[in-house]
Amino acid sequence: MRDPLPVGLVGSGPWARLVTGPVLAAGPQTRVTGVWSRRPKHAAQLATQLGVSSYLELDELFATCDAVAIAVAPAAQPELAVRAAQAGKVLLLEKPLAADVAGARAIVDAVGAAGVGALVMLSYRFNPGLDAFISQAEAVEPLGGRGWFVSGAFLQGPFAHGWRLERGAVLDVGPHLLDLLEAGLGEIVDVRAAGHPLGWVSLLCLHASGATSTGSLCCTSASESRTSVEVFGHGGPALYDGRVKDETQWADQVRNALVRVARGHEHPANVRRALHLQELIDSVEAQLRWAGEV
């Protein structure tokens, strides 16, 4: 068995504390070498939780690792990701890539120029059940479909603050839903939107295949979190239910994917896909602004 991939963790917010840090520290494919954050106190607290050191300088963290996992707000990610890519580090990045298309494109350009691998935390891509859904969706010769991401995450809890409440569900969970609709029906080439990002947003998507789909986004519903996509075709339906997930398997898939990317393999959750999703999000948000909703 090969030595675990050494990964430096950038960021100390809720996702870093609850997901990225613990998953990468659990191994055996990966190990966390240390933590850096713009808030040194929070970095030290997370480092203690993970049993590693915290660093005051980003370059000091880079010196300890071959890969860097970045778990920060969208506006902060481009600068950090570009620095890590230029340092030759494999990247594990958050969705969305950035706060806007320009920031996302800067990451894609830096990754390409440096020739480093990069993986994006499009979480549902690491659920083994997604592969079965994709195969089933292809088999039914899809005509169209529908999807939804509904939760109460903005009402209370660790994610009910900051950029999420400023920009809403489209920027936060939009990448997940759009990616799942594409997994079932192919690339989205046009999207129409209505609603409010801190309320309910309805999407109408046109796919390159000619199929159409509808999507719903809401993070202020006092209900059980649901992420599902249903595809309908000549051969019947295909359903992906995001609630069906083995957490142990999921974490293993994340670590395996990062190691494979570090070894030069491509993964569907890559930065070019994330840039494409950012462009779709930009279109949706622009339509909502035009309608006076943002």
Q: What is the pLDDT of residue 2?
A: 82
Which pTM value belongs to this model?
A: 0.95
Average pLDDT estimate for 274-290: 95
CATH number for the domain running over 5-122+248-267: 3.40.50.720
Alpha-carbon distance values, 16 to 19, 23, 121 (Å): 6, 9, 12
Q: Is 186 left (phi over 0), alpha (psi -120 to 50) or beta?
A: left
Question: Cβ neighbours of residue 102 under 8 Å, at least 6 residues apart?
Answer: none
Residue 138 Cα distances to 141, 145, 183, 233, angstroms: 6, 13, 10, 9
Quote the CA–CA distance of 52 and 49 in Å, as a whole number.
Answer: 8
DSSP SS3 for 69: strand
Fold classification of 124-245+278-290 is Dihydrodipicolinate Reductase; domain 2 (3.30.360)
The angle at the Cα of 194, spanning 205 to 173, to the nearest 5 degrees, equals 70
pLDDT digits (tens, 9 = 90+) for 85-129: 999 999 999 999 999 999 999 999 999 999 999 999 999 999 989
DSSP designation for 228: E
- pLDDT tens digits, residue range 50-76? 999 999 999 999 999 999 999 999 999
Backbone angles phi, psi at 175, to 5 degrees: -55, -40
Fold match between 5-122+248-267 and 124-245+278-290? no
Instruction: Evaluate if residue 294 carries a pLDDT over 50.
Output: no
The SS3 assignment for 48 reads helix
Listed by start position, the domains of the chain span 5-122+248-267, 124-245+278-290
Give the largest CA-CA distance in the chain: 58
